Structures are given as structure tokens and as C-alpha cells.
Amino acid sequence: MKKKVEVLAPAGNLPSLRAAVDNGADAVYFGFRNATNARNFEGLNFSLEDAKAGISYAHRHGVKANVVLNTFPQADDPTLWFRTVDETAALGADAIIMANLALLDYCHRQHPQLPIHLSVQASASNAPAINFYQRHFGIARVILPRVLTVAEIRALKTRSDVDLEVFAFGGLCVMAEGRCYLSSFATGVSPNIEGVCSPARAVRFENDGDRLTTRLGNIMIAQYGPGEEAAYPTICKGRFEANDHVYHVMEEPGSLNILEMLPDVIESGVVSLKIEGRQRTKSYVATVTRVLRQAVDSYYDNPQTFQPKGKWIKELNATSEGATHTLGTYEQRWQ
């Protein structure tokens, strides 16, 4: 039998990690409560003790536990980043997720037994780039940007023997991750350091009569009428005037959801389906992990007749940004 594709779930804290494991995840990923983690938000993430407990819980249930180290060391003192690599290896994590060249080199030389997964922040989207990272740093897996089509993923699989991981559900980014400067332009802060496109301190919601205006820095992102649901203000999901129309020029708010084309994605040769959302709630993690587990199992039970169930779509839409979902770049319907 073909080995099943992995269901990889996010964990922003111990309860979320346990929820992911209990609802059928094959693997989980989490970050530490410090600047090495691009989701270093107040009240989230793992201390060393939490990490030990989480890895132990995952391993007792036959689930892998991966550590995220996806920000870039800073020039004034990079010690924390290198120490986190050492701690991850000492904890017995199943993989470490990184993008920075110095960290990749350090981990490869100092901890050759620790599998390296190349973070999406590295923006490796072609075979020569992926093979470069494998040749120099021995990467075992690459997490692909969310801008590739299934045909492009299939082509990558024929030109590289590095395992491929793709996003299956969660926040959608139409930019090549790691290369977007829209937020930096608006806020003066790099998402590669802060881990968020719209830092809370740069976000403003303003009432103007019966209309709501959202801003990021000094840039107006959108205006909403009475009863309209306002999206969190990121530039790529803003409504702007173009060709005498005001609309979502780049993308409409919505969560990536590949259920409708799950067979195509699995058959492209990927090894892991990643759920985005370490900043989301335990309930979100439990729901999305359970639904994706059921869908993947259903596909392998009978690949020829697989159809996404209406209840799966309904449950996932209830967790989606904008209460809807999209196939994103997979369907290539650009404005």
C-alpha cells in the first residue's frame, strides 16, 4: 500500500497540541516563546518545559513533533537562535523548520541527526533552489510557497528527491512568502522578523458616520458599510480603486481549503498536508485536524470515488477567514 500523506497540525500551546494529536494528526509543529518564532504573540507558544511535555505526549501517541525556528538571527546578538537549534536537538524533536542560511549550516554540521525542513520563508519554489539547499545543508523536506499550481508541484517532484510539503488549509498568501514587502512598506516592520503582516500597533479601525474604515500605518485598506464584515487589514486583502472600480484587487478574504481537489494534490507527490494557524484556538485546531484526517482517510479508502462531504466544507467554512474558502492559486482565477 502507498504510504498515506501526512496530516500536519499547528500548536500554539499545549492544549492545542493535545487537541491536534487527539483528533488524528500525524505530526504537529510549534515554536518557542521567544524571538526565534514568527508567531511570537503574547500568551502563545512553548517554554522548554512545555516543549518537553508536548513532544512526550506526541511521541506516546505515535505522532511526530517539529519545532519552528523561522525568524532570522539579528546582527546585534544571534546567540538565541543558535541556542534554540541546540535545545531542539536535545529535546528529541523530529524535525526543525528553518530558512536562514547560517542556521541551516550550523544545524547540518552540529546536529546531523536532526532532520531539517526548509521553511516556506526561504521561498524555494523551483528545483535548482531546492536541490541547492539539499546539497549544502541536507534538507529532508521543503515547505512550498502557496503560489504554486498542482502542475508545478508535480514537475518539482520529478526534478528533486526532497520531500514536498504544502499548505492544505488556513490563511492564504498570494505573495511568495519571504519575499513580500507590502507590510514593510506600510509599517516599517518586516514580517520575517515580527511574523505578522499587520502588527497590532499599526492597525486602526475608525468610525466615519455609519461606515467603518480600516488602516494599516497611514494606508487606508478598506471601508465597510453597515452590516458588512470587516477583514483584518492586510494590504493584499484590501479594497482599492482600480479601473474606476473599488474591489479586492489582489484577493478576497478567505481561507485556503484544498478539499475539493484533495486527490490532485495528493497524487502530485506531496508527503505532507499542512494546516496553518498556530495563532488560532484549540477549537480551530481540533476541528480542522479532525476534518482533514477524515478526508484523507476517505480518499485512501477509495481514491476513484472520493468526494468532499458537505459537512466537511460546512465545518471548515465556520473556521475560515471571511466565513468562506478558496482554492487560491490552485484555480488561478486572478483579477
- 74 and 138, same domain (yes or no): yes
- 212 and 168, same domain (yes or no): no
- 236 and 266, same domain (yes or no): no
- 213 and 95, same domain (yes or no): no
Pick the last residue of a domain from 208, 228, 248: 248
- 39 and 90, same domain (yes or no): yes
Residue in this structure with the C-alpha cell 481561507, named with its chain if needed:
255
- 276 and 129, same domain (yes or no): yes
Tell me the residue ranges of DSSP E strands in the chain: 6-10, 27-31, 64-68, 95-98, 116-118, 141-143, 163-171, 203-208, 211-216, 219-224, 239-242, 245-248, 255-257, 272-275, 325-326
Distance, CA of 146 to chain centre? 9
CATH for 126: 3.20.20.70
- 268 and 237, same domain (yes or no): no
Among 250, 77, 88, which Cα is nearest to 173's?
Answer: 250
pLDDT digits (tens, 9 = 90+) for 197-211: 777 788 888 888 888
Cβ neighbours of residue 27 under 8 Å, at least 6 residues apart?
6, 7, 8, 9, 58, 63, 64, 65, 66, 94, 272
Pick the last residue of a domain from 248, 264, 295: 248
Q: How many CA atoms lie within 13 A of 69 on its CB side?
A: 26
Count of other CB atoms within 10 angstroms of residue 148: 20
Name the packing angle between helices 282-301 and 14-22 (round to 10°): 20
Number of domains in the chain: 2
Is the Cβ–Cβ distance between 49 and 329 less than 8 Å?
Answer: no
- 81 and 211, same domain (yes or no): no
164 occurs within a structural domain: yes
- 65 and 160, same domain (yes or no): yes
Cβ neighbours of residue 216 under 8 Å, at least 6 residues apart?
183, 186, 187, 198, 202, 203, 204, 233, 234, 235
Pick the last residue of a domain from 216, 248, 280: 248
- 142 and 83, same domain (yes or no): yes
pLDDT at residue number 321: 63
177 occurs within a structural domain: no
Among 185, 248, 173, which Cα is nearest to 218's?
Answer: 185
pLDDT digits (tens, 9 = 90+) for 60-106: 999 999 999 998 888 889 999 999 999 999 999 999 999 999 999 99
1 occurs within a structural domain: no
Give the dihedral of Cα atoms 201, 98, 278, 263; nearest 10 deg.
130
Name the residue with higher pLDDT: 56 or 254: 56
Cβ neighbours of residue 112 under 8 Å, at least 6 residues apart?
138
Alpha carbon distance 20, 277 (integer Å)? 12
pLDDT digits (tens, 9 = 90+) for 148-199: 889 999 999 999 999 999 999 886 666 666 667 777 788 887 776 666 777 7
pLDDT at residue number 56: 98
- 33 and 130, same domain (yes or no): yes
pLDDT digits (tens, 9 = 90+) for 47-60: 999 999 999 999 99
Identity of the residue numbered 202: A
Domain that holds residue 216: 182-248
- 28 and 60, same domain (yes or no): yes
What residue spans of 97-231 are helical by DSSP H?
101-110, 127-137, 150-159, 182-187, 191-194
